[in-house]
Structure 1
Amino acid sequence: MTNILHIDSSARPYSSAENPYGSHSRRLTQRFARTWCEAQPDDTIVYRDVGQQPPQPVTGGWIHAAFTKPEMRLPWMNETLLESDKLVDELLAADIIVAGVPMYNFAPPAQFKAWIDNIVRVGRTFGFDRSRAGEPYWPLLSQAEKTLVILSSRGDYGYGRGGRIEAMNHVEASISTAFNYIGVTDIRTIAIEYDEFADERLQASIARAEANVDALVATLRGERRSRNAA
């Protein structure tokens, strides 16, 4: 069985498939989850909507608690880390993380950045030892064989690899940096563009992205079957 963590981070509460003012990233994540479930209904999907219910941002107290060894934490520290612990637990249990992350001003939404800040945790997703020879930091999820799928949307066009404004896209790059840091390096990306143009180019981009989502589901299912059979 495959465990999927489905995350939405758009401030728009509806999918553009059901509402003309809805979210394109939600449209893609819902399509991924639905297509996967139709093919493998016994698999588990855990859903978290950080767009509508964002995690608490990191505070000074959070940092103090996270960098205190578990056996030395005071009760208030454990309380402070409760939400983060739950988010990390969901991540650790997932084989595939499907994240709907629209571009807001060239970067991920603040709600998704808050989620990232809560799951990049010393002692849980990355290690740190000042006395370690060489690099004092190391990833803890390198052997977990997790896959991250980033499903995004953009108002303009040309943000993809080799595009006219690729350098202005800090969505996939920043998320990939954080996930590589904790040991998740298998990252797939699909995006809808032309949202602000609202013409036939947007419709064509939606159609391409949906077809790519369907193809990606088939690819990932095949990869997991091959891995399990090995």
Structure 2
Amino acid sequence: MRKVLRVDASARRDGSVTRDLADRVIAKLGSSEVITRDLLDGVPFIDETWVGANFTPESDRTLQQIEVLAYSDQLIREVMDSDTLVIGVPIYNFAVPAALKAWVDLVARVGVTFAYTETGPVGLLKNKRAVIIVASGGVASGSEDDYAVNYMRHFLAFLGIVDVEVVAADQLMLDAETSLRGAHEAIENLAASHTSAIS
């Protein structure tokens, strides 16, 4: 059974477009085990103590440093244990929500999810697929003003996840009906490609 990690970043539980679309994507992906990480439940920001623990060799870490990194370790295990990531990305002020950026900071760990080599950084998370679900009021997905989807694509590729698809319900304040219809159609196409990929 394929495992799906669902990451919700919307500040709203009721009326959230990305959460609704994530429900639809999960349903279309078929019978999978779903791990849900709702960032609205709270996610810490990295600080000086966390950075110090992260850059201390694992064998030299104190009990306190191990505890400081425990939440980050848990988030990374969720990613590693998953075949597909479904990430809700509402665009807030042209970029990702602060909670999602905090999740990114906790998942990006040198020597764990990526490594530096003589030829540059190399992602250590291979053979995974990601679906980015984006919603915006006025920003067009993939445009020069979109610092959310382009950022998430780059981040995922940095970790080695290059099979990335986007379901966009963008510019909702301009034409919500057309935008949502396009997102629903993209989900239908996504389901077909998923079926063929695992058959």
Q: TM-score range by the shorter chain?
A: over 0.9
Task: Tell me whether 1:172 sits opposite 2:172 in the alignment.
Answer: no
Identity across the alignment (%): 29
List aligned pairs for 1:66-105, cutoff 5 A: 66-105=54-93
2:135 aligned partner, one-letter code? S
Report the Cα distance in structure 1 between the residues aligned to 2:2 and 2:118, rounded to whole angstroms.
37
Q: CA deviation at 1:7?
A: 1.1
Structure 2 residue aligned with 1:17: none
Equivalent position to 1:150, from 128, 132, 139: 132
Q: What does the per-residue CA deviation read over 1:106-160, in whole Å, with 9 as the maximum and x for residues that have no partner?
A: 00100111111110011210123xxx5343x32212xx31011100101015x23
List aligned pairs for 1:1-230, cutoff 5 A: 1-14=1-14, 22-36=15-29, 40-41=30-31, 43-50=32-39, 52-128=40-116, 133-135=118-120, 137-141=121-125, 144-157=126-139, 159-161=140-142, 166-197=143-174, 201-225=175-199
Report the Cα distance in structure 2 between the residues aligned to 1:184 and 1:99, rounded to whole angstroms.
13
Q: Given that residues 54 and 112 in structure 1 are in contact (C-alpha distance below 8 angstroms), is that contact kept between their aligned partners in structure 2?
A: no
Q: Given that residues 150 and 172 in structure 1 are in contact (C-alpha distance below 8 angstroms), is that contact kept between their aligned partners in structure 2?
A: yes
> Which stretches of structure 1, 4 residues or longer, exceed 3 Å deviation after superposition?
none
Report the Cα distance in structure 2 between the residues aligned to 1:13 and 1:217, rounded to whole angstroms.
25
Report the Cα distance in structure 2 between the residues aligned to 1:133 and 1:153, rounded to whole angstroms.
38
Report the Cα distance in structure 2 between the residues aligned to 1:133 and 1:102, rounded to whole angstroms.
36
Q: Given that residues 194 and 205 in structure 1 are in contact (C-alpha distance below 8 angstroms), is that contact kept between their aligned partners in structure 2?
A: yes
Normalized per residue, the structure richer in strand is 2
RMSD: 1.4
| TM-score between both structures, scaled by the size of structure 2 | 0.94
Partner of 1:112, secondary structure, is helix
| TM-score between both structures, scaled by the size of structure 1 | 0.82
- Larger Rg, first or second structure (1 or 2): 1
Count how many residue pairs are aligned between Structure 1 and Structure 2. Answer: 199
Q: Given that residues 134 and 141 in structure 2 are in contact (C-alpha distance below 8 angstroms), is that contact kept between their aligned partners in structure 1?
A: no
Report the Cα distance in structure 2 between the residues aligned to 1:138 and 1:176, rounded to whole angstroms.
15
Q: Given that residues 141 and 170 in structure 2 are in contact (C-alpha distance below 8 angstroms), is that contact kept between their aligned partners in structure 1?
A: no
